[in-house]
Amino acid sequence: MTAPEGGLAEGRGPLFDESGASPVKELFGKLADGTEIHRWSLENGGTRLRVLSYGGIVQSLEIPDAEGRYANVSLGFDTIEPYVSESPYFGALIGRYGNRIGEGRFTLDGETYALSVNDGGNSLHGGVGGFDKVVWEVEPFERDSDVGLCLTYTSPDGEMGFPGTLAVKVTYTLTSRGDWRIDYEATTDRATVVNLTSHVYWNLAGEGSGSVHHHELEIAAGRYTPVDARLIPTGEPAEVAGTPFDFRRAKPVGADLRHADQQLLYAKGFDHNWVLDKGATAEPEKVAVLRDPGSGRMLMVSTTEPGLQFYSGNFLDGTLVGPSGRTYRQGDALCLETQHFPDSPNKPSFPSTVLRPGQTYRSTTVHSFTC
């Protein structure tokens, strides 16, 4: 996927249609019931993004290295079928609730709700038919020097067990600097819980290029939320100091990954929520930096969210094949999911994920790339 193309670091590039007015839209495939799934391709500031109407999936994200060599730095598939049948959330929008809700139930205003369970007894990433599995309405837009896509979906009351009709709008923006920004918005007609995120699997050397254990990662968090054997937070944040969870200074992802720490044993690696030092903020603030020393490509994550799930690709097991034609094995990518904390609906001490009629859920995450 690497092609030397030095001159493309500026402007909107060739992924616009002939008039230059809007991103290229093409048929990507069809679902079993005949529903057409489209792929949108857009480019700005040297970043190229391909998005599917299915799951709002980032099917590829290409960025250059210092020599202008592009690589697709996110794991995915070439065709629609594996996204439907076996994808571990590659590139997908996640909702209504990112990460786990213990035992797939919670109580709100005295009423107990039973959710779709898909992870042992837990509900993970919104259940079996989460936002990664629905077809989104997609509208391209152009604003000043930005280009982007506006994705909307209305989740019916009771879908996957969650109360309230949830109207969701997610905006993907590519800025003239090549940043990929995500703005999430949601409203409800009944009290509910919401925690939206994006599940891109990053490999800054390029998908299919092998392990990311040599990538260097920094996370601005002095605490994380330890889990039990079901990967449900115990509810008591712990200090990262003196543990493998200390990423306050950049270190290779693989440096402490083989420590026989009970937390790493439970999750087969890192799959935990970091309690970001900045807390929830009105504007996105920088919380993580990922760098591939080989290519020099660097990703900076800024968010309004109070938490970050760092997942070290523990469940990739060599059974999935990417667009490169190569298999994905354990540790071949990592996820940095900005979020509220897992199982918050059952953890009164965690920042609240409750959304009520009249309120608007808002969350922003910005991915900046440099090399």
CA distances from 100 to 176, 232, 318, 367 (A): 36, 7, 25, 24
Tell me which residue of 306, 99, 51 sits closest to 197, measured CA to CA. 99
**End-to-end Cα spacing for the chain:** 17
The minimum distance between CB 164 and ligand GLA, in angstroms, equals 24
Q: Are 188 and 196 in contact (CB under 8 A)?
A: no
Whether 337 is catalytic:
yes
The minimum distance between CB 2 and ligand GLA, in angstroms, equals 27
**Under rule CB under 6 A, residue 271 binds ligand GLA:** yes
**Under rule CB under 6 A, residue 311 binds ligand GLA:** yes
**Under rule CB under 6 A, residue 338 binds ligand GLA:** no
Q: Residue 61 or residue 138: which is nearer to ligand GLA going by CB?
A: 61
Q: Are 300 and 167 in contact (CB under 8 A)?
A: no
| Residue among 56, 76, 88, 233 that touches ligand GLA (CB under 6 A) | 88
Cβ-closest residue to ligand GLA? 311
Sign of CA dihedral 117, 123, 124, 129: positive
Which string of DSSP letters, residue by residue, matches 148-201?
A: EEEEEEEEPTTGGG--S-EEEEEEEEE-TT--EEEEEEEEESS-EE-B-EEE--
The minimum distance between CB 38 and ligand GLA, in angstroms, equals 25
Instruction: Give rounded-to-5 percent helix, strand, coil for the chain.
Output: 10, 40, 50
Q: Let me know if 87 is exposed, middle or buried by CB neighbors in 10 A (0-12, 13-18, 19+).
A: buried
**Under rule CB under 6 A, residue 309 binds ligand GLA:** yes
The minimum distance between CB 248 and ligand GLA, in angstroms, equals 21
Q: Residue 301 or residue 335: which is nearer to ligand GLA going by CB?
A: 335
Whether 272 is catalytic:
no
**Under rule CB under 6 A, residue 328 binds ligand GLA:** no
- For 330, the 3-state DSSP assignment is coil
**Under rule CB under 6 A, residue 15 binds ligand GLA:** no
| Residue among 49, 51, 57, 124 that touches ligand GLA (CB under 6 A) | 124
| Residue among 40, 70, 89, 184 that touches ligand GLA (CB under 6 A) | 89
Block residue for tokens 């439907």: 84
The minimum distance between CB 230 and ligand GLA, in angstroms, equals 11
Enumerate the active-site residues: 199, 337
Enumerate binding residues for ligand GLA (CB under 6 A): 88-89, 99, 124, 231, 271, 309, 311, 315, 335
